[in-house]
Amino acid sequence: MLNPQLLGRVWFASQPASLPVGSLCIDFPRLDIVLRGEYGNLLEAKQQRMVEGEMLFIPARAANLPINNKPVMLLSLVFAPTWLGLSFYDSRTTSLLHPARQIQLPSLQRGEGEAMLTALTHLSRSPLEQNIIQPLVLSFAASLPQRGEYAAG
């Protein structure tokens, strides 16, 4: 479980006019959470050094170009319509192109989760509103499936 007291600023990726080689762009929104170390998005000058607790929200069809020239542990969440993807990256053992662990959970399709993703996407246009954005991300994280909520099968 994420410690809300350790979560920091939420950064937002944008939609570049053209996609540089190596950039990541998918049709679903994503949230990258820096668990330890340093991580960055080469496409945005102010996002080239994100530290522990900081997050990068990537709206659907927006892009990021991950950089990690320092050790990083990263949790990446993908919000698809029918599933939630969780990927754990540890640059000490794997690259950011290959997760150390990955799981897909059936999506709960709760109305509030979808509404929060929509709100985050709209707030990506005004990223200075951290006093609204941070509580929204914490509420959203609390609404995600907890350990044991899904039975193996």
Does any domain span residue 148? no
3-state secondary structure 17-84: CCCCCCCEECCCCEEEEEEEEEEEECCCHHHCCEECCCEEEECCCCEECEECCCCEEEEEEEECCCEE
Does any domain span residue 51? yes
In the chain, how many domains are there?
1
For the chain, the 3-state helix, strand and coil shares in percent, each to the nearest 5, are 20, 35, 45
Q: Taking the CB of residue 27, how many other CB atoms lie within 10 A of it? A: 8
Does any domain span residue 149? no
Does any domain span residue 151? no
More confident call, 51 vs 113: 51
Q: How far is CA 53 from CA 20, 85, 111, 114, in A?
A: 27, 20, 27, 23
Does any domain span residue 49? yes
Residues contacting residue 112 through CB under 8 Å, at least 6 positions apart: 143
Average pLDDT over residues 82-92: 88
Looking at the predicted structure, is the pLDDT value of residue 142 above 50? yes
Does any domain span residue 65? yes
Structure tokens at 63: 């892009």
Q: Taking the CB of residue 93, how many other CB atoms lie within 10 A of it? A: 9
Does any domain span residue 152? no
Using DSSP, state whether 10 is helix, strand or coil: strand
pLDDT of residue 136: 75
Average pLDDT over residues 135-146: 69
Among 23-37, 94-108, 116-130, the range with the most confident prediction by mean pLDDT is: 23-37
**Per-residue pLDDT reduced to its tens digit, 20-57:** 888 889 899 999 999 999 998 988 888 889 999 899 99
pLDDT of residue 42: 86
Does any domain span residue 153? no
Looking at the predicted structure, is the pLDDT value of residue 61 above 80? yes
Domain housing 27: 4-143
